[in-house]
Amino acid sequence: MIDTGYGREDEVRSTRPSTRLSGHSATILSWGAIILILLLAGACARQPRVTTEAPAPETERSRAGFTIQVGAFRDLGNAVRLARSLTEFGLNVYYFKHESGLYKVRFGDFSDRSSAEEMAERARARGVIAEFYIVSPETLAVAKEPELGTGYLRNEIVIRAESFLGIPYQWGGTTPENGFDCSGLTMAVYNLVGLNLPRTSHAQFFTGTHVSEGQLGRGDLVFFRTSNSQRVTHVGIYTGGESFIHAPGKDKRIRVDSLNSSYFRPRFAGARTFLK
């Protein structure tokens, strides 16, 4: 419960002359006041508590820099193990299913190619990786948005999200030993198209631009309150037709669900767009 900060009301003394009532009249007024207070208290108690979080202000979206791509595995477990060994560098690491069907690993967000190469060489010198490939931001989908339009970028986000379908989910985030949590999934998908997102679902909810449910577009993020509190705790990627892709929970796989399901409809908290 939120502390409103209100304490006991200070005593207020009137400077107006008092008017003395007869004992009978005073008794009637006292009982009347008590009944009125009880009625008002009951009416307030019956009203549902409504807690809303203010829409996020429009923020400048952050584009990803140079990233390092390593590995090409048929077995997801091998990609997980490689990513685990890379986390010691303190970088955001995620694995994904490449269009070739192989699992690959990416990490880092560097402002220039030389910084990315330096980090990759450090990892190679320690025997963590062998070959690597520097991914330039100019090759990512967001760089093609001015030419091909926002519709193209939205479709690319959904295509990337669909490539994660069926990957096992484990609570914990982008740390490889734990797999993807809901915000780790959205962060990885957006990074693959060239956009950076904050790490947690709550932080993602308070960035980007508020969008009403009726104006949702493919690739926008949808948020939910899945705990007993009013805090946003879950996020997914809207794919159109009232559907979204998300990492649902421990021991489950990344999948598609409906905004209108009996579980998610009452827990829907709002949506944000990071697209123009």
**Residues recognised as catalytic:** 182, 234, 246
In the numeric block, the tokens 């140079």 are attached to: 66
Angle in degrees, 0-180, between the axes of helices 182-193 and 150-162, rounded to the nearest 10: 130
∠ CA 83-87-255, rounded to 5°:
50
CA distances to 25, 32, 41, 215 from 35, in Å: 15, 5, 10, 48
Please give the span between the terminal C-alpha atoms of the chain, in angstroms, as a whole number.
38
Residue 251: enclosing H or E segment and its boundaries?
none
CB 124 within 8 A of CB 138: no
CB 191 within 8 A of CB 67: yes
List of residues 6+ apart from 242 with CB closer than 8 A: 258, 259, 260
Q: Across-strand partners of 162?
A: none
C-alpha span between 273 and 138 (Å, rounded): 22
Classify residue 32 by burial, with Cβ atoms within 10 Å: 0-12, 13-18, 19+: exposed
In the numeric block, the tokens 């705990």 are attached to: 227
Of the candidates 145, 141, 147, which has an alpha carbon nearest to the alpha carbon of residue 161? 141
